[in-house]
Amino acid sequence: MADWLDTAFSAFDGCLFRVMNSLAQSNGDFFTPFFNFISFFATKGLFLIILSVILLFFKKSRRVGFCMLLAIGIGALLTNVFLKPFVARVRPYEKQVLYRHFWSFVGANKESDLSFPSGHVTATASCMLALFLSTNKKWSWVGLVFTALMCLSRIYLIVHYATDVIGGLIVGFSAGIISYFIVRYLYKLLAKSQDKPFSRFVLSADIINIFRKK
């Protein structure tokens, strides 16, 4: 599978690497700190998980938090347990000398796992689409912009092929959609049993206020 991806999409992936390298070279590495900063927020999915957990503490945002957390989990399962081991694609800087030169110029950030699909993009896309689907569209579209920047950062830093990023988007968006419908169904079940303590807690309890009362 990895050899097929490398062969079938070599021109496409190589073209985008050259574009990103030209951007880096022409701006004197100006964008490198910015894209490193963007990538940092999806490292191990930790920031996204923390954000999701914080939302669970408030009654108004608990459903959104559940949806985001579940989406991250589904995306991680599909990516790390199934796709990465199955495809077994190595990082671009380990495959070609030219890409290694590009990678060195933008900081030589070494990644430890396999390349397809991008875990950073999967986590971000799943979390941000879940946020977009389950909350106010007037401001949650910013999360999709952040997802686009995450995609660019992974290619710019030469740690993922463009096809890795596209794969991450597909898996992440699929996880976000699946999570949205699962949480919507679960909340319908909870609404039918509002008299039960667990349902009442999930639907109505504001954990912050509970701690305040103590």
Q: Which domain holds residue 50?
A: 2-213
Query: What is the C-alpha to C-alpha distance for residues 78 and 75, in angstroms, rounded to an integer?
Result: 5
CATH of the domain at 48: 1.20.144
CA–CA distance from 117 to each of 80, 97, 195 (Å)? 9, 22, 44
Cβ pair 49, 66 in contact under 8 A: no
At 151 the pLDDT is: 97
Can 120 be counted among the known catalytic residues?
Answer: yes
Tens-place pLDDT, residues 29-66: 789 999 999 999 888 889 999 999 999 888 888 899 99
Tens-place pLDDT, residues 166-189: 999 999 999 999 999 999 998 887
Output the six-digit token pair for 197.
């303590």
Can 101 be counted among the known catalytic residues?
Answer: no
- Out of 13, 134, 160, 164, pick the active-site residue: 160
Enter the DSSP assignment of 116. Answer: S
Concatenating the DSSP letter of every residue in 72-84 gives HHHHHIIIIIIIH
In terms of Cα–Cα distance, which of 60, 180, 70, 163 is closest to 121? 163
- Out of 120, 147, 153, 154, pick the active-site residue: 120
